[in-house]
Amino acid sequence: MIRRTLWITTRGKFTRLQNLLLIVMSLSVLFVSTASPQTVDEIFQNFKTAYEKSNNFSADFEETTLFANKKSVARGRFIFGRPNLLRKEYVDRQDASKVVQLTVLDGKYGWTYTPILNQVNKMKWTNPERRELLPGIGASLEDVQKNYDMALIPDEFANPKGVHQIELSPKKHMVSTNAKETLLIWVKSGEWLPVQFGYKTEFEDGTRQSVIVTLTQIERDKKLAPDLFKFVVPKDAEVIDLSED
């Protein structure tokens, strides 16, 4: 009888302990589920802060374009450097070592070279109206909250991985055509680096275009060659100078 009483008493304590643990776990889940999530402004500020702490940012990319029910995919690699520096290489589908188009922003001019045409386009890059979203074009990050309405888009697949999708819609003073354009950026918690970006455009005739760029092999503050953002016109290349327009 004593042993049975001890078992009943012990079992009762064990049952109460189980119930207590269940209550604690339930409260923990409730606390997590009702905790205030980060706002779009907080997430964007984290991204902006990470950019401001970075000297450069590089990645491989896959660029998918959908237009009038047609799909095209391009691949390549890019490196951003502060301030306003970029080297972007599109590569051959079969041979990633073969560059089919090169773009270099040296802080003053933008150069685009197409080897198959042996042609270079030169553009001025100091126009204050020229805006870019990603690191490397720093001025635009300062103006995003002034020029765009920002919204956080829930994503049941990305959010559990710590990836947040920000949708940017231009404010009225930024719209110069009847085409409706929306910018998108996916930012990953932790280092707060972009892992994907793109835009969607709806034209007056109802035609739609979307471009999504997915990033891999992301690196920050890597050692760079001193002449990486300098462009040298290839021998005998035709130069189309648009810098005075």
Instruction: Summarize the confidence of residues 142-154 as an average pLDDT.
Output: 85
Query: For 144, phi and psi rounded to 5 degrees?
Result: -60, -50
Q: Where are the domains of the chain?
A: 40-241
63-119: pLDDT as tens digits: 999 998 899 999 999 998 877 789 999 999 999 999 999 999 998 899 999 999 999
Average pLDDT for residues 115-140, to the nearest whole number?
Answer: 67
Q: Tens of pLDDT along 199-238?
A: 888 888 888 999 999 999 999 999 999 899 999 999 999 9
Dist CA 143 CA 153 (whole Å) = 21
- pLDDT class for 139, splitting at 50, 70, 90? very low
Determine the pLDDT at residue 140: 60
Rg of the Cα trace of the chain? 26
CATH 2.40.50.40 fits 40-241, yes or no: no
pLDDT for the residue 125: 76
Q: What is the pLDDT of residue 212?
A: 92
pLDDT in the model for residue 186:
93
Please check the confidence at residue 1 and state whether its pLDDT lies above 70.
no
Specify the pLDDT at position 68: 82
Q: Is the pLDDT reported for residue 137 higher than 80?
A: no
Residue 141 has pLDDT above 70, yes or no: no
Q: What is the pLDDT of residues 11-60, one digit of tens each?
A: 454 444 444 334 333 333 333 333 456 899 999 999 888 888 888 989 99
Averaged over 167-176, what is the pLDDT?
84
What is this structure's pTM? 0.75
What's the pLDDT at 77? 95
pLDDT at position 142 is: 66
